[in-house]
Structure 1
Amino acid sequence: MYQEKIITPPSGYLTFVLFLALLAGGIFALAVEQFAVGAVALALNFILVLPGLIINNPNESKVLTLFGKYVGTVKTDGFFWVNPLTVKKKVSLKARNLNGHQIKVNDKLGNPIEIAAVVVWQVQETAKAMFAVEDYHQYVNIQSEAAVRHLANIFPYDNFEDEEATITLKDGAEKVSSLLEAELSERLSRAGIEVVEARISHLAYAQEIASAMLQRQQATAVIAARKLIVEGAVGMVEMALERLSEKNIVELDEERKAAMVSNLLVVLCGDRNVQPVVNTGTLYN
């Protein structure tokens, strides 16, 4: 595995002055019919001097190789001169966004879901990015998709079917993003890539089960609401009976209490407006 070696080559300004001097000298030699001297000066100028001049912009680097051997990486921005025989490959050090495609995968419980992620990454070690993998751009794309698939397989979408799940894809956004970032950092370290941030950008049930899952969620919400209403209604009925008994407003036998409880529960738990009924008789007639 290649380790990055940062080098700082000499300034290119003095070399550029030498280039201009050799250019002027070669033209002058040709003008005075010193063809051999002029040809040699111009040949050296355009073969050895000019090809070695490089401009390195901010947040860019130049990876240098000489006859198949890694020489070093220039990360300092500026104007430099390097060995003209080296092969110079530009590698950007800027942060980049990878907006992953929506992929269909099964969650921990086997439910088909659609998921996608956004990854912010940048090249940290240029030698690994250039020599450890074939194409580091494609490597980032494939490994990011593999990490998202693996993450979706080890967690359920929600805890409706797995109530013991402490982390879900739907509700554990921060934890899931942290785990995704850690896994991507491990996968991409081989290529010298640093993961700045990774987050889930899209999460939904697959189209073929989305309608059924929506009905299940609605039913769960209705059951939870009904449970809360019933608990509140029972408490209110209990309180009403206790207050009537404390103030001696009316004495109720078991049958009348049962009727009163039934009526109160209908009124409190019903989802429609109450229709009052005037009883002109008694419970016993």
Structure 2
Amino acid sequence: MDAVPSRPGARLIHNEATTEIPVHLLFRDDPDPQPVPLRPAVVNRRQGTGEQPRTRRPVPAKPRAQVDPELVERPARVLPATVGVLAGLCGTAGCLATSWWAGVLSPLAGAALGLPAVAGAGLGPAQWAAYAGAGALGLFGFGGLARGSTGRAWVLGLFGRYRGTVRRTGLMWVNPLLLRRRVDVRLRHWRSEPLCAAEPGGVALRVVVLVVWRVRDTARAVLGVEDHEGYLRECVEAALARVPVEMPGSARASVAGETLTRLVSADAAAVGLEVYSVQPVRVEYAPELAAAMHRRRIAALDAQQRATMLTSVVDSVEDTVTRLTMRGLVELDDYERKVLVRDLTVAFCSGRAGDTVH
């Protein structure tokens, strides 16, 4: 038997690279094979093109908004109001005593205060120094008195450095040299103006959302961002740009609120804000699309109603013909069955149409 002549040569695709496999590896029977180390996936270059091998690099994760990790709320050092009152009274008493010493105090005032009448020494350097010390003590004592209220806090700073937060209520004494910034830490809600959003199909919407939030970390809310209320507003707008919003009444209308709450809460947590709920309270089409979408919704509701009515008519006709035939009340051939079905369909449709109009 003649051997089959081999073809002159199989045509290969240009620049195709092939690899030879040793024959002993094809028939290797190793009961305990060693694992083969895997190398990073590399896309080989095409020969003759000059391209370099390209490795698949992992996609970097989205960076999170962060502030100074050392900027965390901590309680400030305050003293009881008694300390400030005593310091202020001591300063006032010192001013009166200096006036008596200098002879500036009138005899009647001195007698009323129980001070003996003496010849005044005059206003000299010592008297002015006593006035300055007593006045500074009085101003420092009375100037540091502050009253804390429920739901309010003070963020204290000195020369641009955070010195603590005061959440206490009642009368207290705070260093008057510290800069005080009042912060509302009560549970608050914000009803937004109409914001831009979109349906899952890309149709433009105008959405009004209700945000329930509060300041959790006063240091980050006041010092970590320029305006924490404006930052929260921007977070809500950014979340609405990423989350499609359903029209009210749909099955997935509540899913948008849960997703918005999760996104806004994650973005606002970096600046010390705690977001409890972000819920759309009014959803409407954009003004330029409102009329067209209203007609579209009416047409869809009309088509749905017609389909429901047709299904009901067909079921009623089928049930009527089946009962007449099964009970032996009539005997119908194909032509008579078709005529009966047609007449019943017309009668039922006319009755349903009349009920709908009424």
TM-score w.r.t. the length of structure 1 is 0.82
Q: Against the structure 1 CA distance between its residues 149 and 170, is the aligned structure 2 distance closer, same or farther, given a 3 Å change threshold?
A: farther
Separation in 2, partners of 1:156, 1:73: 40
Structure 1 gaps of 5+ residues are: 159-167, 274-285
Q: Does 1:213 align with 2:306?
A: no
Q: Could you tell me which of 200, 203, 207 is aligned with 1:115?
A: 207
Partner of 1:200: 280
Separation in 1, partners of 2:326, 2:143: 103
Q: Does 1:157 align with 2:157?
A: no
Following TM superposition, by how much is the alpha carbon of 1:123 offset from its aligned partner in structure 2, in angstroms?
A: 1.0
Separation in 2, partners of 1:272, 1:125: 64
Partner of 2:328: 248
Partner of 2:271: 191
CA offset digits 1:95-140 (Å, max 9, x no partner)? 2222211123433322111112111221110110111111212222
Q: Does 1:82 align with 2:82?
A: no
- Cα RMSD, aligned residues only: 2.4
CA contact (8 A) 1:109 1:156 kept: no
Q: Could you tell me which of 14, 20, 30 is aligned with 2:89?
A: 20
Following TM superposition, by how much is the alpha carbon of 1:54 offset from its aligned partner in structure 2, in angstroms?
A: 2.1
2:97 corresponds to which letter in structure 1? F
Following TM superposition, by how much is the alpha carbon of 1:75 offset from its aligned partner in structure 2, in angstroms?
A: 0.9
Separation in 2, partners of 1:174, 1:254: 53
2:145 corresponds to which letter in structure 1? L
Partner of 1:52: 144
CA offset digits 1:27-51 (Å, max 9, x no partner)? 23213317332332112321x3233
Q: Could you tell me which of 4, 17, 31 is aligned with 2:100?
A: 31
Separation in 2, partners of 1:222, 1:62: 60
Following TM superposition, by how much is the alpha carbon of 1:169 offset from its aligned partner in structure 2, in angstroms?
A: 9.0
CA contact (8 A) 2:90 2:138 kept: no
Separation in 2, partners of 1:208, 1:27: 77
Percent identity over paired residues? 27
TM-score w.r.t. the length of structure 2 is 0.66
Separation in 2, partners of 1:31, 1:148: 72
CA offset digits 1:74-98 (Å, max 9, x no partner)? 1111222233322121111122222
Aligned residue pairs total 261
The answer to which structure, 1 or 2, has the higher relative contact order (CA under 8 A, 6+ apart) is 1
Deviates more, 1:213-222 or 1:62-71: 213-222
Partner of 1:277: none
CA contact (8 A) 2:78 2:175 kept: no
Q: Against the structure 1 CA distance between its residues 199 and 23, is the aligned structure 2 distance closer, same or farther, given a 3 Å change threshold?
A: same
Following TM superposition, by how much is the alpha carbon of 1:241 offset from its aligned partner in structure 2, in angstroms?
A: 2.1
- SS of the residue aligned with 1:98? strand
- SS of the residue aligned with 1:130? helix
CA contact (8 A) 1:63 1:89 kept: yes
Q: Could you tell me which of 209, 215, 231 is aligned with 1:139?
A: 231
1:129 corresponds to which letter in structure 2? A
Q: Could you tell me which of 121, 124, 132 is aligned with 2:216?
A: 124
Structure 2 gaps of 5+ residues are: 1-67, 103-120, 122-126
Q: Could you tell me which of 33, 48, 72 is aligned with 1:3?
A: 72
Q: Against the structure 1 CA distance between its residues 248 and 67, is the aligned structure 2 distance closer, same or farther, given a 3 Å change threshold?
A: closer
2:148 corresponds to which letter in structure 1? N
Query: Computing the radius of gyration over CA atoms, which structure comes out larger, 1 or 2?
Result: 2
- SS of the residue aligned with 1:5? coil
Separation in 2, partners of 1:64, 1:242: 86
2:348 corresponds to which letter in structure 1? L
Separation in 2, partners of 1:242, 1:38: 114
| Structure in which a larger fraction of residues adopt helix | 1
